[in-house]
Amino acid sequence: MSTVTAASSAVGSFCIPRSRGRINMPRFTMTVRSSNAVSAGVAPILTKFKHDCATPLPLLRHVADAMAADMRAGLAVDGGSDLKMILSYVDTLPTGNERGLFYALDLGGTNFRVLRVQLGGKEERVIATEFDQVSIPQELMFGTSEELFDFIASGLAKFAEKEGGKFHLPPGRKREIGFTFSFPVRQTSIDSGILIKWTKGFAVSGTAGRDVVACLNEAMDRQGLDMRVSALVNDTVGTLAGARYWDDDVMVAVILGTGTNACYVERMDAIPKLQGHVSPSGRTIVNTEWGAFSNGLPLTVFDKDMDAASINPGEQIFEKTISGMYLGEIVRRVLLKMAAEGALFGESVPEKLSTPFVLRTPDLSAMQQDNSDDLNVVGSILYNVAGVESNLSARKIVLEVCDTIVMRGGRLTGAGIVGILQKMEEDSTGLIFGKRTVVAMDGGLYEHYPQYKRYLKDAVKEILGLEKSKNVVIEHTKDGSGIGASLLAASNSKYEHDF
């Protein structure tokens, strides 16, 4: 039975600009108004905004319960809920016993990444890794399928030519590669998937409706490259596999960067819509595509306006509430209203502040790390990014808006994680809360935004209580999806395993 994989969002572009804190405030004159003057016009907007963003414990419990219920509905039948609950066909997870040389290819945006890893079994684990990144020329994003895949296969061939040193392929074997493909595909097996459509600015002709693995295999043959795809995976699934290799207790993986997604290890007998697929382990990884979740979320007028103006109104509501792509834009919309109706930055509204997405989530994070008395970094970022001149009182309000949005995002993400864990525990009492359970986190938002991470972890503790939450470990796993794809190529190798 075929299933539909929604596009997974790339997560690598989120990082805090280190230099911003050292920018000197430009010399300019401004009308200095009293703290009360700022507060009077802005206070009602801020009060309502904080009220609408509130995430008290009962609301978090409702979100967790709704997430678990939507997961069940999505597993029962395709289209049963907002959550697609896509089967990954990954039934064999890395154990640490894998040996040999394996490759990975990650195609999810305007660059593609290639990686090789030499595995040495339980004793030596990862003996060596090497990777390379290649930019895809603009014209190939609008060219033919053959041109794009030939370019990728050519890059792979050049990378494979440099193989040497600690990397060696056993005689009589073809190189095997794990292919992380972050576009919408209808996956039909561990090593095949039909492209539904290109996204993220790609408009390549001749690929839609074709098996992307066949496209890559054919291009590698044309390049004379002795390599075959043994696993087609989504980046979140790759992250889970990469983390699981080092830690058998990993049951869930969450990507939290520009976009967001989550996957987890599910029992085959808990997937009613699955017919005819048998897994030797009795388990498989399910890709939730949780960005589409929308049940019971606390949304403001700013969220609704941003959604209405987006390219996919009414869709990906959870993603728009919690992920790095959108947090800065929500804050910008709040500040624009405060500037226009509450004179937050003086009598005129700065023109740049009207530009959608001019304020990015890394800017919020950099501002929230400012501990100076005059909040100089906050002032610098507001001026350089949004053309805003601000006094101390205005800067404090800006920080309050940032913190409100980040607290809501972190706490809702925590509730989503609890929902996944709850669903797994309901099916197998003691499986999750009765022992150590690891949630592997990847993505720049989680890695680079300390307040977000703290709010997320605190929410998990609050919902589960002290006793249960002791067994839940939330761990950062940096760039796990690349090595995860190569590990899935190893655990799904067509050769007799010598491990």
Asked about 235 being catalytic, the answer comes back as yes
- Out of 70, 82, 191, 235, the active site residue is 235
CB 85 within 8 A of CB 79: no
List all residues 6 or more positions away from 282 whose beta carbon is below 8 Å from its beta carbon. Answer: 267, 268, 269
List all residues 6 or more positions away from 113 whose beta carbon is below 8 Å from its beta carbon. Answer: 104, 105, 106, 131, 132, 133, 134, 482
What number of CA atoms fall less than 13 Å from residue 447's CA on the CB side?
19
Asked about 200 being catalytic, the answer comes back as yes
Q: How far, in Å, CA of 244 to CA of 438, rounded?
A: 9
List all residues 6 or more positions away from 488 whose beta carbon is below 8 Å from its beta carbon. Answer: 90, 94, 178, 190, 230, 231, 233, 237, 238, 241
Q: How far, in Å, CA of 411 to CA of 53, rounded?
A: 11
Q: How far, in Å, CA of 310 to CA of 320, rounded?
A: 10
Q: What interhelical angle do 392-427 and 361-368 show, nearest 10? A: 110
Tokens of 302: 């700013």
Q: How far, in Å, CA of 174 to CA of 156, rounded?
A: 14
Tokens of 317: 């509501």
Any idea how long the chain is? 499
Q: How far, in Å, CA of 256 to CA of 262, rounded?
A: 9
- Out of 48, 174, 197, 200, the active site residue is 200
Residues with catalytic roles: 200, 235
